[in-house]
Protein backbone atom coordinates (compact mmCIF):
# COMPACT_ATOMS: atom_id res chain seq x y z
CA UNK A 1 0.00 0.00 0.00
CA UNK A 2 1.14 3.49 -0.76
CA UNK A 3 1.94 5.73 2.19
CA UNK A 4 -0.42 8.41 0.88
CA UNK A 5 -3.31 6.03 0.34
CA UNK A 6 -5.72 5.78 3.28
CA UNK A 7 -5.94 2.46 5.11
CA UNK A 8 -9.25 0.62 5.15
CA UNK A 9 -8.32 -0.65 8.61
CA UNK A 10 -8.88 2.84 9.99
CA UNK A 11 -12.50 3.00 11.11
CA UNK A 12 -13.20 6.42 9.60
CA UNK A 13 -11.97 5.27 6.18
CA UNK A 14 -13.96 2.04 6.41
CA UNK A 15 -17.08 4.00 7.41
CA UNK A 16 -16.54 6.32 4.45
CA UNK A 17 -16.48 3.33 2.12
CA UNK A 18 -19.55 1.86 3.77
CA UNK A 19 -21.55 5.08 3.47
CA UNK A 20 -20.46 5.60 -0.12
CA UNK A 21 -20.89 2.07 -1.52
CA UNK A 22 -23.37 0.15 0.65
CA UNK A 23 -26.53 1.49 -0.99
CA UNK A 24 -25.28 1.35 -4.62
CA UNK A 25 -23.92 -2.19 -4.14
CA UNK A 26 -27.20 -3.28 -2.52
CA UNK A 27 -29.14 -1.87 -5.47
CA UNK A 28 -26.79 -3.66 -7.87
CA UNK A 29 -27.45 -7.03 -6.21
CA UNK A 30 -31.15 -6.25 -5.78
CA UNK A 31 -31.42 -5.77 -9.53
CA UNK A 32 -29.89 -9.20 -10.00
CA UNK A 33 -31.98 -11.09 -7.46
CA UNK A 34 -35.16 -9.05 -7.00
CA UNK A 35 -35.11 -9.52 -3.22
CA UNK A 36 -34.04 -6.53 -1.12
CA UNK A 37 -33.45 -8.51 2.08
CA UNK A 38 -31.25 -10.99 0.25
CA UNK A 39 -29.32 -8.18 -1.45
CA UNK A 40 -28.75 -6.43 1.90
CA UNK A 41 -27.53 -9.68 3.49
CA UNK A 42 -25.08 -10.32 0.66
CA UNK A 43 -23.64 -6.80 0.73
CA UNK A 44 -23.42 -6.75 4.53
CA UNK A 45 -21.44 -10.00 4.43
CA UNK A 46 -19.13 -8.47 1.83
CA UNK A 47 -18.47 -5.50 4.11
CA UNK A 48 -17.71 -7.87 6.99
CA UNK A 49 -15.18 -9.64 4.75
CA UNK A 50 -13.78 -6.27 3.69
CA UNK A 51 -13.18 -5.38 7.34
CA UNK A 52 -11.47 -8.72 7.97
CA UNK A 53 -9.29 -8.27 4.89
CA UNK A 54 -8.67 -4.54 5.36
CA UNK A 55 -4.90 -4.95 5.52
CA UNK A 56 -4.77 -6.73 2.15
CA UNK A 57 -7.09 -4.49 0.11
CA UNK A 58 -6.03 -1.00 -0.90
CA UNK A 59 -8.42 1.90 -0.52
CA UNK A 60 -8.34 2.57 -4.25
CA UNK A 61 -9.38 -1.04 -5.02
CA UNK A 62 -12.15 -1.21 -2.38
CA UNK A 63 -14.99 -0.24 -4.74
CA UNK A 64 -14.00 -2.94 -7.20
CA UNK A 65 -13.70 -5.48 -4.38
CA UNK A 66 -17.15 -4.61 -3.00
CA UNK A 67 -18.92 -5.00 -6.34
CA UNK A 68 -16.98 -8.08 -7.42
CA UNK A 69 -17.35 -9.87 -4.08
CA UNK A 70 -21.06 -9.01 -3.96
CA UNK A 71 -21.59 -10.41 -7.44
CA UNK A 72 -19.64 -13.59 -6.67
CA UNK A 73 -21.53 -14.11 -3.41
CA UNK A 74 -24.83 -13.75 -5.25
CA UNK A 75 -23.79 -16.18 -7.97
CA UNK A 76 -22.59 -18.71 -5.39
CA UNK A 77 -25.96 -18.52 -3.62
CA UNK A 78 -27.82 -19.06 -6.90
CA UNK A 79 -25.64 -22.03 -7.80
CA UNK A 80 -26.21 -23.51 -4.35
CA UNK A 81 -29.98 -23.01 -4.66
CA UNK A 82 -29.96 -24.80 -7.99
CA UNK A 83 -28.26 -27.81 -6.47
CA UNK A 84 -30.70 -27.83 -3.54
CA UNK A 85 -33.72 -27.57 -5.85
CA UNK A 86 -32.48 -30.35 -8.11
CA UNK A 87 -31.82 -32.54 -5.08
CA UNK A 88 -35.30 -31.91 -3.67
CA UNK A 89 -36.90 -32.62 -7.03
CA UNK A 90 -34.98 -35.87 -7.44
CA UNK A 91 -35.78 -37.03 -3.91
CA UNK A 92 -39.50 -36.48 -4.53
CA UNK A 93 -39.41 -38.19 -7.93
CA UNK A 94 -37.30 -41.13 -6.82
CA UNK A 95 -38.96 -42.22 -3.62
CA UNK A 96 -38.13 -45.95 -3.64
CA UNK A 97 -38.61 -46.24 -7.44
CA UNK A 98 -34.97 -46.23 -8.45
CA UNK A 99 -32.09 -48.54 -7.74
CA UNK A 100 -29.30 -47.46 -5.38
CA UNK A 101 -26.86 -47.46 -8.31
CA UNK A 102 -29.05 -45.04 -10.23
CA UNK A 103 -29.36 -42.74 -7.22
CA UNK A 104 -25.57 -42.71 -6.85
CA UNK A 105 -25.21 -41.82 -10.53
CA UNK A 106 -27.73 -39.00 -10.13
CA UNK A 107 -25.82 -37.60 -7.15
CA UNK A 108 -22.52 -37.83 -9.03
CA UNK A 109 -24.09 -35.97 -11.95
CA UNK A 110 -25.36 -33.25 -9.61
CA UNK A 111 -21.84 -32.74 -8.32
CA UNK A 112 -20.44 -32.63 -11.87
CA UNK A 113 -23.13 -30.15 -12.90
CA UNK A 114 -22.36 -27.83 -9.99
CA UNK A 115 -18.64 -28.00 -10.74
CA UNK A 116 -19.28 -27.38 -14.44
CA UNK A 117 -21.41 -24.32 -13.68
CA UNK A 118 -18.70 -23.01 -11.37
CA UNK A 119 -16.12 -23.29 -14.17
CA UNK A 120 -18.10 -20.97 -16.43
CA UNK A 121 -16.89 -17.45 -17.00
CA UNK A 122 -18.68 -15.23 -14.40
CA UNK A 123 -20.52 -13.29 -17.11
CA UNK A 124 -21.77 -16.48 -18.75
CA UNK A 125 -22.60 -18.08 -15.39
CA UNK A 126 -24.65 -15.02 -14.44
CA UNK A 127 -26.71 -15.20 -17.65
CA UNK A 128 -27.08 -19.00 -17.43
CA UNK A 129 -28.28 -18.93 -13.82
CA UNK A 130 -30.65 -16.03 -14.38
CA UNK A 131 -32.16 -17.85 -17.36
CA UNK A 132 -32.30 -21.37 -15.94
CA UNK A 133 -32.79 -20.76 -12.22
CA UNK A 134 -34.74 -17.53 -12.14
CA UNK A 135 -36.57 -18.36 -15.38
CA UNK A 136 -35.90 -14.86 -16.75
CA UNK A 137 -36.21 -14.14 -20.45
CA UNK A 138 -33.24 -12.87 -22.43
CA UNK A 139 -34.95 -9.48 -22.61
CA UNK A 140 -35.32 -9.33 -18.81
CA UNK A 141 -31.69 -10.37 -18.34
CA UNK A 142 -30.61 -7.70 -20.83
CA UNK A 143 -32.49 -5.03 -18.88
CA UNK A 144 -30.97 -6.14 -15.58
CA UNK A 145 -27.41 -6.33 -16.86
CA UNK A 146 -27.58 -3.34 -19.19
CA UNK A 147 -26.53 -5.44 -22.17
CA UNK A 148 -28.25 -6.08 -25.48
CA UNK A 149 -30.39 -9.15 -26.06
CA UNK A 150 -27.84 -10.29 -28.67
CA UNK A 151 -25.06 -10.10 -26.07
CA UNK A 152 -27.17 -12.19 -23.69
CA UNK A 153 -27.83 -14.73 -26.46
CA UNK A 154 -24.08 -14.98 -27.18
CA UNK A 155 -23.24 -15.47 -23.51
CA UNK A 156 -25.94 -18.09 -23.09
CA UNK A 157 -24.83 -19.91 -26.22
CA UNK A 158 -21.23 -19.96 -25.02
CA UNK A 159 -22.30 -21.17 -21.55
CA UNK A 160 -24.34 -24.00 -23.05
CA UNK A 161 -21.50 -25.03 -25.36
CA UNK A 162 -19.07 -25.14 -22.45
CA UNK A 163 -21.47 -27.14 -20.28
CA UNK A 164 -22.12 -29.59 -23.11
CA UNK A 165 -18.38 -29.99 -23.63
CA UNK A 166 -17.90 -30.77 -19.95
CA UNK A 167 -21.00 -32.88 -19.34
CA UNK A 168 -21.42 -34.56 -22.71
CA UNK A 169 -23.51 -33.95 -25.80
CA UNK A 170 -26.35 -36.24 -24.72
CA UNK A 171 -27.25 -33.87 -21.87
CA UNK A 172 -30.20 -31.56 -22.55
CA UNK A 173 -29.63 -28.31 -20.69
Which DSSP string corresponds to 68-87?
Answer: HHHHHHHHHHHHHHHHHHHH
**pLDDT averaged over the chain?**
85
pLDDT score for 3 = 59
Flag whether 89 is in a domain.
no
Q: Do residues 67 and 103 share a domain? A: no
52 Cβ contact list (under 8 Å, min separation 6): none
Flag whether 1 is in a domain.
yes
173 Cβ contact list (under 8 Å, min separation 6): 132, 160, 163, 164, 167
Q: Do residues 173 and 108 share a domain? A: yes
Q: What is the number of helices (H) and of strands (E) in the chain?
A: 7, 0
pLDDT score for 2 = 45
Contact call for residues 144 and 156 (beta carbons, < 8 A): no
In the chain, how long is the greatest CA-to-CA distance?
Answer: 67
pLDDT score for 108 = 83
Higher pLDDT, 66 or 167: 66
Does 1 score more than 50 pLDDT? no
Q: Do residues 163 and 98 share a domain? A: yes
Q: Which region among 43-57, 79-93, 136-150 has the lowest average model confidence (pLDDT)?
A: 79-93
Does 61 score more than 50 pLDDT? yes
pLDDT score for 173 = 52
Structural domain of 136: 94-173
Task: For 64-122, write each residue's pLDDT tens digit.
Answer: 999 999 999 999 988 888 888 887 776 666 555 667 777 788 788 888 888 888 888 88
Amino acid sequence: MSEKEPSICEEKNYNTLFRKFYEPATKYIYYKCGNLQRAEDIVQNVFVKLWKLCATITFSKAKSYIYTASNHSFLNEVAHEKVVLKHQKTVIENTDHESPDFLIEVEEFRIKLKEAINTLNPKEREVFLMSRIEQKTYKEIAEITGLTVKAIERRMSKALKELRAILGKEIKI
